[in-house]
Amino acid sequence: MMDAQVSFLDQLFAKGVLHDSGVDGLYARSGEFEDVIARFEKFALTYGQDEISEAMVFPPGMTMQDFETSGYMKNFPQLAGTVHAFCGNDHDHMGLLQCMAAGDDWSKDQKPTQVALTPAACYPLYPILSRRGALPAEGAYVALQSYCFRHEPSKDPARMQMFRQREYVRVGSAEQTMDFRETWKQRGSDMMERLQLPHNVDVANDPFFGRAGKIMASGQREQELKFEMLVPITSEEKPTACMSFNYHMDNFGKAWNIRQADGTPAHTACVGFGLERLALALFRHHGFDTSKWPEGVRATLWG
Ligand code: ATP
Ligand code: ZN
Ligand code: MG
């Protein structure tokens, strides 16, 4: 365990694992940190290899239209980020520069673009599947990765504003998607054993906004739609979700019009790995020098 007097974030800065930007939750990563992430991703991809139907990597933004379809502004408006840009002429540009020089708010004249920052890695997948028409009988099983944005600035290094999720997404029948999620809860625990990280799986809820959100959150818990793989990183009492196992029923199938082979709305489930959180958990528990990590962990990640 590390020096409790110095915060884990300050230790990460001091060791050069992360670099401070002046904005909470926005950090540059070291080469070694990225190497750990790349190795973890390779390790994760050794599970369920023959089940994957395809792989995709998304840019950090998604179309505004698909973002709207996702319902994110209904459920999590407090976390969302949209991209705005200067769209003016020479005259407007002059005004912009004067405004900046005077230290006034220049951003109010920025215009919305067709891009929203991706809040959850699997969202951009659903419209792609929808455009292909009805799914084959075996459904779809996609391995993907995306940068995500959430407006939740924090001094907790495990709560970033921009971070990556690696996900497996299963799309098909209720049975296919629920089986998938059960399988992955097991595999998630197996992965944590091999990485020698203390962990436990618990039912969870998303931070739905406002008064109506409280009801949504308790409904999600009652129906056990979300589970998290918890690992202590910055706190023993409040361990951090490093993986999540989500069943969306046919909500996304309906929202994006994804059809099963028989024409009914598809069910979806996803398992998300928080790549920065997993790397931070490894540094937290095994130390800042990766060459001194336990032999079993080295064997798992370095082979
Ligand atoms: P939390 O309860 O800690 O806010 P979450 O429920 O919002 O987590 P998900 O929405 O399920 O997490 O996202 C999938 C995974 O992405 C999480 O299991 C976690 O590992 C990672 N993740 C979520 N939010 C962040 C963040 N702000 N910074 C870094 N990783 C994150
Ligand atoms: Zn997902
Ligand atoms: Mg969250």
Q: What is the mean pLDDT of residues 17-31?
A: 98
The answer on pLDDT for 238 being more than 90 is yes
Residues with CB under 5 A from ligand 2 (ion): 122, 270
Distance 151 CA to ligand 1 centre (A): 12
Pairing of strands 54-58, 140-149: parallel
Q: Which residues line ligand 1 (CB under 6 A)?
A: 150, 152, 158-160, 163, 165, 206, 241-244, 272, 274, 276-277
Q: Are 276 and 37 in contact (CB under 8 A)?
A: yes
Distance 103 CA to ligand 1 centre (A): 35
Q: Are 123 and 68 in contact (CB under 8 A)?
A: no
In the chain, where are the structural domains located? Answer: 2-81+119-302, 86-116
| Tens digits of residue pLDDT in 50-85 | 999 999 999 999 999 999 999 999 999 999 999 999
Distance 14 CA to ligand 3 centre (A): 27
**pLDDT range class, residue 5, cuts 50, 70, 90:** confident
Minimum-distance ligand to the CA of 121?
A: 2
Strand-by-strand arrangement of the 267-274 sheet:
54-58, 140-149, 162-172, 267-274, 240-247, 226-231, 200-203
Site to probe by mutation for ligand 1, drawn from 277, 280, 284 as the one with most ligand atoms within 8 Å of Cβ, is 277
In this prediction, residue 2 carries a pLDDT of 52
The question of ipTM being above 0.90 is answered as: yes
Distance 148 CA to ligand 1 centre (A): 10
Domain spanning 2-81+119-302, CATH architecture: 2-Layer Sandwich (3.30)
> For ligand 1, what atom is nearest to the CA of residue 204?
6
In this prediction, residue 4 carries a pLDDT of 60
Whose C-alpha lies nearest to ligand 1, atom 23? 274
How much of the chain is helix, strand and coil, in % rounded to 5? 40, 25, 35
The answer on pLDDT for 167 being more than 60 is yes
| Tens digits of residue pLDDT in 168-217 | 999 999 999 999 999 999 999 999 999 999 999 999 999 999 999 999 99
| Tens digits of residue pLDDT in 204-214 | 999 999 999 99
Sorted by sequence, the CB contacts under 8 Å of residue 72 that are 6+ apart come out as 79, 80, 119, 120, 123
> For ligand 1, what atom is nearest to the CA of residue 241?
18
For the chain, the residue count is 303
Q: Are 259 and 253 in contact (CB under 8 A)?
A: yes
Q: What is the mean pLDDT of residues 119-140?
A: 98
Q: Are 184 and 285 in contact (CB under 8 A)?
A: no
Alpha-carbon distance of 87 to 270, in angstroms, equals 38
In our burial notation (b when 16+ CB lie closer than 10 A, e otherwise), range 64-102 reads: eebbebbebeebbeebbbeeeeeeeeeeeeeebeeeeee
Distance 206 CA to ligand 3 centre (A): 6
| Tens digits of residue pLDDT in 257-281 | 999 999 999 999 999 999 999 999 9
Site to probe by mutation for ligand 1, drawn from 118, 165, 216, 229 as the one with most ligand atoms within 8 Å of Cβ, is 165
Amino acid, single-letter form, for residue 142: V
Q: What is the mean pLDDT of residues 29-34?
A: 98
Residue 127, CA distances (Å) to 44, 249, 250, 271 in order? 25, 17, 14, 19
Minimum-distance ligand to the CA of 177?
A: 2
| Mean pLDDT of all residues belonging to the chain | 97
> For ligand 1, what atom is nearest to the CA of residue 278?
20
> For ligand 1, what atom is nearest to the CA of residue 229?
18
